[in-house]
Amino acid sequence: MRIPFFYRRYCACLSVFGGALFFLVFGFARPVLAQLPSGVTKSRWAMEDPDYALKYADGAEKTDIPGKIKQAADARFLKESSGLYFSGGLTAIGESSNPLGSLEFGYTGYWKSFFTNRVGLIAAINEDDYFMGGEVGMRFQTPTRLAPFVGLGLFAGVSSVTEEAADDHIDNDEDGSVDEFGEEEESFDGALMAVYPETGLHFWWTPRVRLSGFGRYLVTTEGRDADSWYYGVTIAVLSK
Ligand SMILES: [Ca+2]
Ligand SMILES: [Ca+2]
């Protein structure tokens, strides 16, 4: 019996995304998230960092509320730190209702406390489609513990995209039956580039471990039909 394609797709995507999430949490995140977020009980949250510790050696007085807020938010000490990041994400190319699970890893650094750039590798797959390649990007953020950011990135790689084709009166897969249930055609296969604006939020779990969520809009060389949203979560471990 033929398993309905949307069910197969759903399962394939879930397994990729599930695998990514599993790897993210148990492979990379668990050791670095083994401790509670810094500063649960104290507003001087980043005393592990020598620069921060020096700056706030004399903490704000109990009654100095603005001072307390400042030291609880300040993440300017991150300037010139860098390290590895690892992401899991979910995207769908163009009109495909068929999301791809993605994995991404690379290296990122803080040139300024409010400016980062990165270089990385990305692979996204589901049962039918994939894209993989390299990417570079930069982001501007507030130099704070909880930090909204905006950024720009560039992806270059290869991709294969399959679309549903059950209502175009063509036997796309040449199996002798026209527009059978679940018929598909390969709409694209080859080099792919995309630029993307993105936005998201960082949270410093500890002065070294950063969690992020982001949304990107991929504007591809395959035309506006292939543009897509890409959502992901990232963990990064940085040091000076
Ligand atoms: Ca057919
Ligand atoms: Ca067809």
Measure the CA–CA gap between 166 and 95, rounded to whole angstroms: 14
Domain ranges (residues) in the chain: 5-34+75-239
Cα 193 to chain centroid distance, Å, stands at: 17
For ligand 1, the distance from its centroid to the CA atom of residue 173, given in whole angstroms, is: 5
Measure the CA–CA gap between 192 and 225, rounded to whole angstroms: 13
Measure the CA–CA gap between 38 and 205, rounded to whole angstroms: 6
For ligand 2, the distance from its centroid to the CA atom of residue 93, given in whole angstroms, is: 20
Whole-number pLDDT of residue 1 = 45
For ligand 1, the distance from its centroid to the CA atom of residue 4, given in whole angstroms, is: 15
Q: Which residue has the tokens 């991150």?
A: 78
Q: Quick check: 210 pLDDT over 80?
A: yes
3-class SS at 13? helix
What is residue 3's DSSP assignment? P
For ligand 1, the distance from its centroid to the CA atom of residue 180, given in whole angstroms, is: 6
Helices H, strands E: what count in the chain?
4, 8
**Using an 8 Å Cβ cutoff, are 139 and 119 in contact?**
no
Q: Which residue has the tokens 């991404």?
A: 104
Q: Quick check: 176 pLDDT over 70?
A: yes
Q: Mind listing the pLDDT tens digit for each residue in 79-119?
A: 999 999 999 998 876 656 678 889 999 999 999 999 999 99
Q: Which residues contact 90 (CB under 8 A, 6 or more apart)?
A: 13, 17, 99, 100, 101, 102, 230, 231, 232
Section 28-57 average pLDDT: 85
Whole-number pLDDT of residue 127 = 79
Cα Dmax for the chain: 80
Q: Quick check: 63 pLDDT over 60?
A: yes
For ligand 2, the distance from its centroid to the CA atom of residue 223, given in whole angstroms, is: 22
What is residue 80's DSSP assignment? T
Which residues lie near ion ligand 2 (Cβ < 5 Å)?
165, 168, 170, 172, 179, 183
For ligand 2, the distance from its centroid to the CA atom of residue 196, given in whole angstroms, is: 32
**Domain 5-34+75-239 maps to which CATH number in 3.30.1640.10, 3.90.1580.10, 3.30.300.10, 2.40.160.20?**
2.40.160.20
For ligand 2, the distance from its centroid to the CA atom of residue 123, given in whole angstroms, is: 29
For ligand 1, the distance from its centroid to the CA atom of residue 182, given in whole angstroms, is: 9
Q: Does the global pTM surpass 0.85?
A: no
Q: Mind listing the pLDDT tens digit for each residue in 20-40?
A: 667 766 677 777 777 778 877
Taking phi over 0 as left and psi of -120 to 50 as alpha, with beta for the rest, 92 belongs to beta
For ligand 2, the distance from its centroid to the CA atom of residue 186, given in whole angstroms, is: 11
Mean pLDDT of the chain: 87
For ligand 2, the distance from its centroid to the CA atom of residue 227, given in whole angstroms, is: 23
Nearest C-alpha neighbor of 118 from the set 29, 28, 200: 200
Ranking 38-42, 150-154, 155-159 by mean pLDDT, the lowest is 38-42
Half-sphere exposure (CA, 13 Å, Cβ side) for 94?
Answer: 20
For ligand 1, the distance from its centroid to the CA atom of residue 16, given in whole angstroms, is: 28
Ligand nearest to the CA of 175: 1
For ligand 2, the distance from its centroid to the CA atom of residue 163, given in whole angstroms, is: 10
What is the torsion angle, in degrees rounded to the nearest 10, for the CA atoms of residue 76, residue 201, residue 210 and residue 14? -170
